[in-house]
Structure 1
């Protein structure tokens, strides 16, 4: 069962988190160029994959329970960073994209958070989580 959970967790992370990270990262550049059609697609990817991406921590927690590592520091930090990334996406990035898109569709200037910086922090959080998942500092599992 552990191998199945690990496989689903890793596949979900690659297939779901990767695209939302890329779409969110591309959005600010295309917003500066006022490419509304592209922005609609990137926003749709960001919102759709954000919801589907909830599968990653769900399977990750199930996997951690199966491996008896729920209390390990590297996993607690990874879960906290995952929560930070999710909050950035749900509370700042997606609403910011919506505001920018709405303003550009009305031919107005959109203010708000610096989406480039916030999506960089979002991507950095995921990069640190990936490193922690691979390195697992203090782990006694042998790698």
Structure 2
């Protein structure tokens, strides 16, 4: 899924999530440095996420890669007090999108470098990297 489409999907998903007071695109939040991203106010604090896409191997930007459905990604729900990327992956996973194959939470990686983010691998081979700013 291209970052623009995922941004729209994530805004709709997050605005209906408990503890989220506000969600908007980074552009709407005044960030013109990052073309795609989210500004999410959850449990009284704002967290900003940059969205970066990676095409499937051999794919071109036009036409977009067709969506492929399969089993929803396994996930672990995390409370809003957990690491921000674990919480976000839990929210995305709980939606049980048949287009998402896997969710990789960066902060839980063994030997992690302290970065927070989520790599979403789609069944069509594309990836979306959601990096905490």
Normalised by the length of structure 1, the TM-score is 0.25
Higher share of residues assigned strand: 2
Task: Compute the TM-score of the two structures, normalised by the length of structure 2.
Answer: 0.26
Higher helix share: 1
Structure showing greater radius of gyration is 1
